[in-house]
Amino acid sequence: MRHAFIAASTLSLLLAGPVCAKTPEQVAAAALAASPVFDGHNDVPEQLRDRRKNMLAGFDFNDTTGTADPAKGAAAMHTDLKRLKAGKVGAQFWSVYVSANLPEPQAVQATLEQIDVMKRLIARHPGQLQFCTDSACVEGAWKQGRIASLLGMEGGHSIGGSLAVLRQMHALGARYMTLTHFKNLAWAESATDAPMAQGLTPFGKDVVREMQRLGMLVDLAHVSEKTMLDVVAVAKAPVIVSHSNARVVNHHPRNVPDSALDAIKANGGIVMVNFYPAYVVEDTRQWGSRRAGEEARLKSLNAGNPDAVKAGMAAWDKANPLPIGSIADVAAHIDHIARRIGVDHVGLGGDMDGIENTVQGMEDVSKYPALFVELARRGYSQADLEKIASRNLLRVMKGAEAYAKAHAGDAPIENPTTF
């Protein structure tokens, strides 16, 4: 009887035909159809400011491939509506970044201008973009075939040391704030500035508390390890790292060390991997250091002769081409984060239009599917890829919104004015 059962089972399988496993391309396509990309950081607003002084007249966001300006050293933009659609991008945090070198009152004004220009750009394309401030709107935009468009502030200098300004930025629609950019603030330590006595000051901790009371995501990109750990110790809702990588893979201080990865897992947060070679590829970071050393050497040897320095650097660049890496290098960061703290805590923050170059294969916003194919080749399931694409960030947003709803009756935290 046993042999008869085996024979019957075999016959039924033969009659049913071969079981075909999905190819990596099919797995990636199915994942992105079910869960489009929700990217954590894109710098189109910065490009509008730098290239056009925030003047939208004559700007065609349907196709920006012709925006290169070689005379000014400006490459073509990475982002437009056509390529967002090709890249299966369903939601985007647009970064309303302004320079951390601005005096804080001026930074506040400039941030308001960046919020305004991005809102105006979204409003110009109602069939393709939808301004959103919560997760329900994101999901609703997808159902209507639109790209959910949210705003994120890059750097606490944008609030000028004022919780009142923070609240007003939230009222205008900002839904995350990166606590620092490349410079320290009086209340928070950056990853790329001189170490402070502490990561977050008492006021910095109040900033985190007030952001979470409002439902605003706390972003740890650009901050130091001390600041990361201080934030997570204070945070009651999930946090994000909107566009950083794993420091074990690339030792740049902008990347997230394992100590912080572990803390972010315990917090329920997410680390969103970006595509900038200096943060992705360790050899690129080392190349930058070697180049800076050569430039310093030439300046020392050729004091008062900048032409000699320029010629020397041109010769060095020719002999030492920039290594930019590939999609596989991006996947290596995702692998490390997923192995260390789980695939539930990984996302994408490409930093498109905020970087001068990308790894090979991720040249613009149309290329996201290629990364998902690479991940599928490495064994990530469709469910894993759906999480990385958008489900993880949606979960984090919903956690922040739930915390804010539970604390809607809490009084705003106050701080005194300074002038």
Residues designated catalytic: 41, 43, 154, 181, 222, 243, 351
Q: How confident is the model at residue 15 (pLDDT cuts 50, 70, 90)?
A: very low
Burial tier of 217 (Cβ tally within 10 Å: 0-12, 13-18, 19+):
buried
Of 15 and 213, the one with more pLDDT: 213
Query: Is residue 1's pLDDT more than 60?
Result: no
Taking only the tens place, the pLDDT of each residue in 117-144 is 999 999 999 999 999 999 999 999 999 9
pLDDT reading at 17 higher than 80: no
| Residue pointed to by tokens 């004004």 | 109
In the beta sheet, which residues pair with residue 174? 151
State residue 189's pLDDT score.
98
Nearest 5°: CA angle at 139, between 138 and 141?
Answer: 65
Q: Is the pLDDT of residue 340 over 50?
A: yes
Side-chain-facing half-sphere of 5: CA atoms under 13 Å: 2
Rounded CA separation 378/284 (Å): 24
Q: For residue 72, what pLDDT is reported? A: 87
Residue 19 pLDDT level (bands cut at 50, 70, 90):
low
18-22, 200-204, 238-242: the lowest-pLDDT one: 18-22
- Residue 73: which pLDDT band, with cuts at 50, 70 and 90? confident
pTM for the whole structure: 0.93
Mean pLDDT rounded to a whole number for the chain: 95
Angle at 223 between CA 218 and CA 226, to 5 degrees: 100
pLDDT, tens digit, 9 for 90 and up, residues 245-304? 999 999 999 999 999 999 999 999 999 999 999 999 999 999 999 999 999 999 999 999
Q: What is the 3-state secondary structure (H, E, C) of the chain?
A: CHHHHHHHHHHHHHHHCCCCCCCHHHHHHHHHHHCCEEEEEECHHHHHHHHHCCCCCCCCCCCCCCCCEHHHCECCCCCCHHHHHHCCEEEEEEECCCCCCCCHHHHHHHHHHHHHHHHHHHHCCCCCEEECCCHHHHHHHHHCCCEEEEEEEECHHHHCCCHHHHHHHHHCCEEEEECCCCCCCCCECECCCCCCCCCECHHHHHHHHHHHHHCCEEECCCECHHHHHHHHHHCCCCCEECCCCECCCCCCCCCECHHHHHHHHHHCCEEEECCCHHHHCHHHHHHHHHHHHHHHHHHHHCCCCHHHHHHHHHHHHHHCCCCCCEHHHHHHHHHHHHHHHCHHHEEECCCECCCCCCCECCCCHHHHHHHHHHHHHCCCCHHHHHHHHHHHHHHHHHHHHHHHHHCCCCCCCCCCCCC
Predicted local distance difference test score (pLDDT) of residue 13? 39
The closest alpha carbon to 241, from 257, 284, 249, belongs to 257
